[in-house]
Amino acid sequence: MERVKNFDLSRTSVRELNQFLHHDLNAEHTDQVEILHPDGAHSIAAGVNAPVHIHVRGHAGYFVAGMNQQADVTIHGNVGWSIAENMMSGRVHVKGHASESAGASAHGGLLIIDGDASSRCAISLKGGEIVVGGSVGHFSAFMAQAGTLVVCGDSGPNLGDSLYEAVIYVRGKIHSLGADAQEEPMGHADYDAVGRLLNAAGMEYDPKDFKRVASARKLYHWNSEVHQEY
Amino acid sequence: MSERLHYEESASFNRDTLHYIRQAAEFGLYEIRGMGAKRKVPTFDDLVLLTASASRYPLEGYREKCSSKTVLGTRFAKKPIELDIPITIAGMSFGSLSANVKEALGRAASEMGTSTTTGDGGMTPEERQSSKTLVYQCLPSRYGFNPDDVRKADAIEVVIGQGAKPGGGGMLLGQKVSPRVASMRTLPPGIDQRSACRHPDWTGPDDLKIKLEELREITDWQVPIYIKMGATRVREDVKLAVKAGADVVVIDGMQGGTAATQQVYIEHAGIPTLAALPLAVEALEEMDVFGEVQLIISGGIRSGADVAKALALGADAVSIGQGILIALGCNSSTYVQNGEPHDAKEGYAKLGTGPGFCHHCHTGQCPVGITTQDPVLEKRLTPEVGANWVKNYLQVLNMEVTTLARACGKSDVHHMEREDLVALTVEAAAMAKVPLAGTNWIPGRP
C-alpha cells in the first residue's frame, strides 16, 4: 500500500520538506509526497535521491527537482528557471510551462514539459532526455554535450549553438540555427528515438514530422577558417 | 646619424610586438598559453612590514606560540572549514593536471592541515581519498558535476571567474582530453574543449542567490559555499557575492594562473592582486560583514612574505596555484623518476622554450610531468615525490608567516593588520592603501 505524506508549504518551509526528502523517506516508508501551496517557492525537492513519487500541486519557482536522482516528480503548474538542472536520473514532468534553462546540464533522466520552455532549454545537456510539448526559446541546447531534446513546437533563434554530441529534434519551425549546428536527414534510429521519447512523454505526434539537428563538428578543433564562431 | 641609432629598438614596436604581429599574420589565430601574467605589476614585494622595535615588542621566534589556525565558512554553514594554516591550494582541474599531481596535492594538503580544490572537470576518487578537506568547484561548464560528489565535498566553490581570464571560460586543448578526461567531462576524446563563461542555470546576482540556496538545500546547509571571482570590479562584485549569501569570497588577481587561455586575457584583463585585496576588504567592511564573511585572496602568491602581507591587509587566507606547480617542479631543468634526477631540457626544447620560461601547460607535453595526460610524461612525477615537495613548500610558507607575525608582536597570524605595512612605491601605496614608507601619505586619501 502506498504511503503518502503531505507538505503544505504555506505552513512548512522548503528546508523541512527537503530534510524529509533527503533523510526520512525510508524511516516513514513513504512512497508518495504531496506538496501543496508551492506558491512559487524555489528549490522544492532539490537533491532527492530516492525512488519516490512527488507531486507539486501548483506553480513552483526556480531549481525544482535540482540534481534529481531516481525520483519521479510531477509539477501540476508552471515552473521558474532551471527545472531539473543537473538531473542524473528519474523523471520530472511539468504539466504547464517552464521558464529558462530547463534541464540545464542534465546528465540523465527524462524531463517532460507539456507546455513551452523558455530560452536556453537543455543548455549544457550531458546525457539527459527532454521532451517539450510546446516551443523553446533562443539558444536552446547551447553547448549541449550529450542526450536528446525533442521539441514538438517551434524553436527560437540560435538553436544548438556550439553543439557537441547531443541531438535535437524539432517538429515545427526553426527560427535559426546557432554556430556549428546543422540540420541532418532523419534515419531509422532517429524515428525510433523520437517515437520512444514521445511515447514516454505521452505525446501523440508522428516522428516523421520531426527534423534532426546535430553538430557539424567544425568547432571541435581550433582553426582560422571559423574564427568568427569563437 | 650615429651608428647606434641604426639599431635603436622602437618602444612601441619592440621585438616582442614584432613577433606578435608576425605570428598573427602567419597563423590567423590568437596565442593560447598557460600560467599567469608576465608583465610587471605592483605586487606584495612593494610592501614591507613594520616589525617590532621599541614601540612594539616581538614574540620569541622559537619559544612563543603563534597560531595559524584558520576557520572559513562561519556565516551560514553548519560545518565550517577548519585549517591549520591560512594557505589553501587553488582549484586546478584533473585534465589540466595529471591524476598523479591531483593525488599529490591532496596528500600534501592533508599533511599540512589545509584544503585542496577540484577544478573544471570534476572530482576524481584519488583526489577525494587523498584530501582530508576538499573544496568542490561548481563551474559554468559543470563538467563531471554531480550530486554524489556534492555530498562528499567539504565546501563548494561557485566559480564566476578567475584572475587569468575574468569573463572568459575554461579551455582544454585536445591533446589533454584523454579518454578518462573526456569521459568525466562527457566529451568526445581529443577535441579542443571550450568551457562556457556563464553558468547554465543562473545569470545575474539575484539568480545566484537562489542558486546558492539550492546548493545549500542539496547539502542540508552543512558545508560552506565560496564564491570565486576574477579581480575586476572588485568592490561591486564582492558586495553582490555577500548579498547572494556567500560564506567565503575568493578574489583572484590578474597574476593568477591558468592551464590555457588566450594570451590577450592573461596580460590585459583584470587588476593586480595587490589592488584587488583592499577593495574586497573595504566592500566587506562597508557591508559590516568583515570577519563574518571570510576572504581568500589569490593570484601570484609565492612566499610566506606574500601570505603575511595579504593577511595584514585583511585576507583570512590565501590560495595558491602556480607556486604549488613550481614546488612540484614546474619550469625545473630536471625531473625525478625512480629516485634519480633526469634532464628535462630536451622536453622544453621540443616546445620551443627552456626551463624558467615555460608556459606551455596547454600543450599537454609538460617536460616534468605536471600538466599532462600523456602516460609517459605523467610518470615523471609520482604522488609521493610531489606530495613531499608541496608539503615542504607549504610548511616553509607557514613558518615564514608565523615568523613575521611574531616579529610584529602577534600571537596569531590573523592579528596582523594594515597598520603593520608600508609601501615602497607610490603605486603600491595607492593600491594597497597603506602609507608610503617614511611618510604618512596614502595616495588618494586626504
Q: Which three cell numbers stand for residue A198?
A: 514521445
Q: How far apart, in Å, are the Cα atoms of A174 and each of A117, A192, B11, B284? A: 15, 22, 53, 48
User: Quick one: pLDDT at residue B1?
Assistant: 53
Cα B172-A217-A175 angle, rounded to 5 deg: 115
Percent of chain A predicted with pLDDT > 70: 96
How far is Cα of residue B295 from the mean position of the Cα atoms in its chain? 13
**Does residue A223 have a pLDDT over 80?**
no
Which residues does residue B230 pair with via DSSP β-bridges, in sequence order?
Answer: B252
Mean pLDDT of chain A: 95
pLDDT of A72-106, one tens digit each?
A: 999 999 999 999 999 999 999 999 999 999 999 99
Instruction: Give the confidence band of A228 by pLDDT, cuts at 50, 70, 90.
Output: low
Percent of chain B predicted with pLDDT > 90: 89
A159 in Cβ contact with A181 (< 8 Å): yes
Q: Write down the CATH superfamily of domain B44-328+381-432.
A: Aldolase class I (3.20.20.70)
For residue A226, give the nearest of B194, B336, B403, B309 by alpha carbon: B194
Q: Between chains, do B29 and A219 touch, taking CB under 8 Å as contact?
A: no
Mean pLDDT of chain B: 95
- By C-alpha distance, the chain B residue nearest A126 is B186
**How far apart, in whole angstroms, are the C-alpha atoms of residue B433 and residue B443?**
7
User: Quick one: pLDDT at residue B170?
Assistant: 80
pLDDT of A15-46, one tens digit each?
A: 999 999 999 998 889 999 999 999 999 999 99
Section A149-164 average pLDDT: 97
Q: Which three cell numbers stand for residue B94?
A: 584533473
Instruction: Give the confidence band of B175 by pLDDT, cuts at 50, 70, 90.
Output: confident
**How far apart, in whole angstroms, are the C-alpha atoms of residue B315 and residue B291?**
9
**How far apart, in whole angstroms, are the C-alpha atoms of residue A42 and residue A224?**
44
How far does chain A reach from its first CA to its final CA, in angstroms?
Answer: 57
**Does residue B38 have a pLDDT over 70?**
yes
Q: Between chains, do B207 and A219 touch, taking CB under 8 Å as contact?
A: no
A45 in Cβ contact with A54 (< 8 Å): yes
**How far apart, in whole angstroms, are the C-alpha atoms of residue B227 and residue B239?**
11
User: Quick one: pLDDT at residue A224?
Assistant: 60
User: Quick one: pLDDT at residue B2?
Assistant: 58
CA of B229 vs chain A CAs: smallest distance (Å): 21
User: Quick one: pLDDT at residue B171?
Assistant: 81
For residue A143, give the nearest of A178, A182, A173 by alpha carbon: A178
Helices (H), B77-197: 99-112, 125-130, 147-152, 179-185
User: Quick one: pLDDT at residue B75?
Assistant: 97
B138 in Cβ contact with B117 (< 8 Å): no
Q: How far apart, in Å, are the Cα atoms of B414 and each of A118, B160, B168, B307, B429? A: 48, 27, 33, 11, 22
User: Quick one: pLDDT at residue B3?
Assistant: 62
Percent of chain B predicted with pLDDT > 70: 99
Side-chain-side CA neighbours of residue B407 (13 Å): 14
Instruction: Give the confidence band of B7 by pLDDT, cuts at 50, 70, 90.
Output: confident
User: Quick one: pLDDT at residue A226?
Assistant: 58
**Does residue A230 have a pLDDT over 70?**
no
Residues 72-131 in A contacting B (C-alpha not used; CB under 8 Å): 81-82, 85-86, 88, 101, 104-105, 107, 120, 123-124, 126-127
Contacts 24+ apart (CB under 8 A), B345-351: B347/B377
- Please give the interface size between A and B, counted as residue pairs whose CB atoms are below 8 Å apart: 112
pLDDT of B209-220, one tens digit each?
A: 999 999 999 999
User: Quick one: pLDDT at residue A8?
Assistant: 98
**Does residue A1 have a pLDDT over 70?**
no
pLDDT of A60-76, one tens digit each?
A: 999 999 999 999 999 99
A128 in Cβ contact with A87 (< 8 Å): yes
Write the single-letter amino acid at A206: D
B396 in Cβ contact with B320 (< 8 Å): no
pLDDT of B363-408, one tens digit each?
A: 999 999 999 999 999 999 999 999 999 999 999 999 999 999 999 9
Instruction: Look at A155-159, B21-25, B250-254 and tell me which has the smallest mean pLDDT.
Output: B21-25
A67 in Cβ contact with A49 (< 8 Å): no
- By C-alpha distance, the chain A residue nearest B28 is A224
Q: Tell which of A143, A180, A218, A224 to mutate to test the B interface (max B CBs under 10 Å).
A: A143
All structural domains of chain B with their residue ranges:
3-32, 44-328+381-432
For residue B142, give the nearest of A156, A227, A198, A142 by alpha carbon: A142
Question: Given CB atoms, is A224 within the 8 Å cutoff of chain B?
Answer: yes
Q: How far apart, in Å, are the Cα atoms of A162 and each of A103, A142, B201? A: 17, 6, 17
**Does residue A227 have a pLDDT over 60?**
no
B66 in Cβ contact with B405 (< 8 Å): yes
pLDDT of A106-151, one tens digit each?
A: 999 999 999 999 999 999 999 999 999 999 999 999 999 999 999 9
**Does residue B87 have a pLDDT over 90?**
yes
Instruction: Give the confidence band of B169 by pLDDT, cuts at 50, 70, 90.
Output: confident
Instruction: Give the confidence band of B173 by pLDDT, cuts at 50, 70, 90.
Output: confident
B90 in Cβ contact with B324 (< 8 Å): yes
CA of A216 vs chain B CAs: smallest distance (Å): 13
pLDDT of B278-316, one tens digit each?
A: 999 999 999 999 999 999 999 999 999 999 999 999 999
Percent of chain A predicted with pLDDT > 90: 92
List of chain A residues whose C-beta atoms are within 8 Å of the C-beta of residue B146? 67, 86, 88, 107
Question: Given CB atoms, is B125 within the 8 Å cutoff of chain A?
Answer: no
Instruction: Give the confidence band of B172 by pLDDT, cuts at 50, 70, 90.
Output: confident
Q: Between chains, do B221 and A143 touch, taking CB under 8 Å as contact?
A: no
